[in-house]
Amino acid sequence: MSASVNHLEERLLDERELLEGIMPSAITLAMMLRHRQMATWLRAEFDGYPEVADAPPYRRDLPGHVVARSPQYGWIPAPLEDDQKIKYGRLDLIDGVKSLEQICLGCRKGNGHRVLLAPEALASLQKQVNLTAELAINVSREVYCRLLKTVRASLYLWTRALAEQGLSGEHNHYSAEERARVAELDRPDHYWRRAMAELESLPVPDVREAGLLERLFGRAG
């Protein structure tokens, strides 16, 4: 597993590379540099957050729209008032990047993914709108992709900061001097806040759309 800053940056800019495969190398690099905060954030992104309160803002209160399952027509927009759409049509995504990437790969552009309402919210909303139908939040592929692109962009900004401090080339270990030189770069919140603000101008790719064979049979290998 390469711990090269340059190689990690190259992989982040390659749309064929998924975060699922990139992040173990990023965690290794963070540990070699003794960037404990980065390693903790990376592991949380990789494994998922145990509680909503632990998740960064780019994972919280994300937009969707409530849909109801009709016996005749399948999933259709639920007949909600505007205030109900605001209250029930948003959600937090705390799953790890692997499952989020698989959702993106399995969705075509313009489509989305349904997330069932929590039992308490479901019962409350069914009572309010006098429906017994199953209800869910439909979240667009773009919402998932933007979240993942934010993580990817955060990593890219970290690698750029490391490279600017002269950490390039292959390394099996980093010297005490090199670690000290980049100690102040152990600030994941700095990178993800920048990524949120600058996302459209950064060169990292979106999650690609899976081909037909991938959707039918899964990823090879």
Q: Along the chain (221 residues), what's the average pLDDT of each consecutive run of 10 residues?
A: 82 96 96 97 98 97 94 92 92 96 87 89 89 91 96 98 88 88 98 98 89 50 39
Residues belonging to the chain = 221
* 129 phi/psi in degrees, rounded to 5: -100, 5
Query: Closest Cα partner for 8 from 37, 42, 36?
Result: 42
Residue 59 has a pLDDT of 98
In-domain check, residue 214: no
Residues 66 and 133 in one domain: yes
DSSP secondary structure letter of residue 101: H
Query: Residues 187, 161: one domain?
Result: yes
Of 126, 143, 160, which closes a domain? 143
Domain boundary among 143, 159, 188: 143
Q: Domain residues for 38?
A: 5-53+145-206
Q: For residue 43, what pLDDT is reported? A: 98
Residue 91: inside a domain: yes
Q: In terms of Cα–Cα distance, which of 94, 87, 207, 73 is closest to 137?
A: 87
Please state, in angstroms and rounded to a whole number, the distance separating the CA atoms of residues 114 and 133. 15
